[in-house]
Amino acid sequence: MELSKTMETAINKQIQAEYYSSYMYLAMAAYCDSVNMPGYAHWMREQAEEELEHALKFFDYIVERGGRVILEAIQQPPVEYDSLLAVAEETYAHEQKVTSLIHALYEVAVAEKDYASQVFLQWYIKEQVEEEDNARTIVDQFKMIGDHPNGLFMLDRQLGAR
């Protein structure tokens, strides 16, 4: 069964959101490098690559279902942050937003009675549980450490091991 135009449009919007996520995480990686946190920069680069993979999965799905991918412009992400905690909090907030986008996409699939898309989106729904948990954990760790250099050094090493 071919993808409906409504579903195709909604997935194309999600592709744009996934590319923005990748771009945002890459900008965060650059910020982390600029404040001498190479481990956290590495973690963010890995996150950026993961978001690219997500975008390409959506891209391929549209093609497999006989639809047309339409790529839209990507907004410039922020480049400066007040602190590493602010980066972590923004990451968590962003993952919550992505979760809401995935849920809205699933609702479109339900409304369209697009069972194949509902099954396809199950993976993303599960993935977002993991993404939010990871982001929330990092926020909690930065809050626990505060500005203690030894704690920041240890957390940076841990994040760099991703």
Minimal CA–CA distance to 19: which of 43, 48, 42, 39?
48
Q: Give per-residue burial for 45-70: e unless 16+ CB within 10 Å, then b.
A: bebbebbbebbeebbebbeebebeee
Average pLDDT, the chain: 97
pTM over 0.85: yes
Q: Are 8 and 64 in contact (CB under 8 A)?
A: no
Domains and CATH numbers, the chain: 5-160 (1.20.1260.10)
Q: Are 37 and 84 in contact (CB under 8 A)?
A: yes
Minimal CA–CA distance to 144: which of 157, 129, 155, 156?
155
Distance (Å, whole) CA 154 – CA 39 = 10
Instruction: Name the residue type at position 129.
Output: V
Altogether, the residues listed in the chain come to a count of 162
The one-digit pLDDT tens for each residue of the chain (162 residues) are 899 999 999 999 999 999 999 999 999 999 999 999 999 999 999 999 999 999 999 999 999 999 999 999 999 999 999 999 999 999 999 999 999 999 999 999 999 999 999 999 999 999 999 999 999 999 999 999 998 999 999 999 999 998
Q: Are 29 and 45 in contact (CB under 8 A)?
A: yes
